[in-house]
Amino acid sequence: MKFSGSYVAIVTPFNPDGSVNFDKLKELVKWHLAEGTDGIVALGTTGESSTMSHEEDDDVARCVIETVNGRIPVICGAGSNSTQTQLEKSRKYHDMGADGLLLITPYYNKANDEGMYRHFATVADAVDTPIILYNVPGRTGCAISPACCARLAKHPNVAGIKEASGNISYAAKIAKLLGDDFCMLSGNDDMIVPMMSLGASGVISVWANICPRQCHDLVAAYQAGDTAKARAIQLEYLDLINALFCEVNPIPVKEAMNQLGMGVGGYRLPLCEISGSGRETVRRALEVLR
C-alpha cells in the first residue's frame, strides 16, 4: 500500500472516570470520514497509548477499524521498546484488519544499528500488514540512522517512515530512498509543505484533530501541483499549529478540542491539565477558526 494524504493521529477520548469513551471515539472517526481525512492513525503518541493497558489498546484499535469499515486506511500504533511485545501487538492488529502498523524506535533501552534493524525486521518478517517506521528522537532518545533506514526500505513489507525529527537534513537523506515501495510521511505539522517538497506523500497530523478539512486540502493542493495554495494554508494556520505544541502533546490539542466543544475529556498521569498560560495560548490561536 502507498500511504498518501492527511492521516489524523487521533486522540483517545476519556470519560470523567478516566476510562476510554468509545462513543466519543466513534463520533470522532465518523466526523473525520465526513471531513475528508484520508486515513486514521490510532494508538500513536497523540492517542496516549503509553498510559493505556494492552487490553485498552486492543479495544481502541478494534473500535476504530470497525467504525471505519474499510472506507479509509487505518494504521495502528503497535510499537514498544520490547521487540517481542511489538511483535505480539502487531499480530493482533494484523488479525483485526489494520491497513498499516506504526512501529516506534526502542525508547529507553535504545539499540545499535543492527539491533535497530532487527527490532523492525522481526515484525516485518512475521506479518503481512505494511509497516511504517516511526522516527521521533525527541520522544524516544534514539533515531533510525539513514543507513539502517536504507536497509529497512528494501524489505518488501516496510512501506514507509513517519519522519518526526524536525531535522530537514535528515529528511533529505531519507528522501533519497523514496520510491513506489517506500514513502515518507511528515510527522511535524509545521513542516508539511517543506517535507512534501522533498517527496513526502502526506502527513500524520495532530493538527488534523481540529482542522481535518484544512489539513486534507493542504496535502491535496500540493499533490495537485498548487504549491501556492498549500503554502498559504500552511502559513495561515502556523500559529495554531505551534500553539498545539506549546506544552507536551497531546495536552494542547485535547485542550483545543475541549474549548471547541468536542468533549474529549482529560488525560492520564503523568499527563495532566494544561497550564493557565498554555490555555490562553490555545484560546488565542483558535481565533483563526472563528
| C-alpha cell of residue 290 | 472563528
Contacts of 97 (CB under 8 A, 6+ apart): 65, 74
Residue 150: burial class (beta carbons within 10 Å; 0-12, 13-18, 19+): middle
| Among 24, 89, 92, 162, the one annotated catalytic | 162
Closest among 105, 122, 127, 281 to 187, alpha carbons compared: 105
Tell whether omega for the bond before 130 is within 30 degrees of 0, i.e. cis. no
| Among 7, 93, 117, 134, the one annotated catalytic | 134
Report how far residue 115's alpha carbon sits from residue 145's, in angstroms, rounded to the nearest whole number. Answer: 12
H/E segment holding residue 18: none
Closest among 54, 97, 44 to 73, alpha carbons compared: 97
H/E segment holding residue 275: none
154 assigned to active site: no
| C-alpha cell of residue 177 | 530512498
| C-alpha cell of residue 223 | 499533490
Can you give the C-alpha Rg of the chain in angstroms? 18
Active site residues per annotation: 134, 162
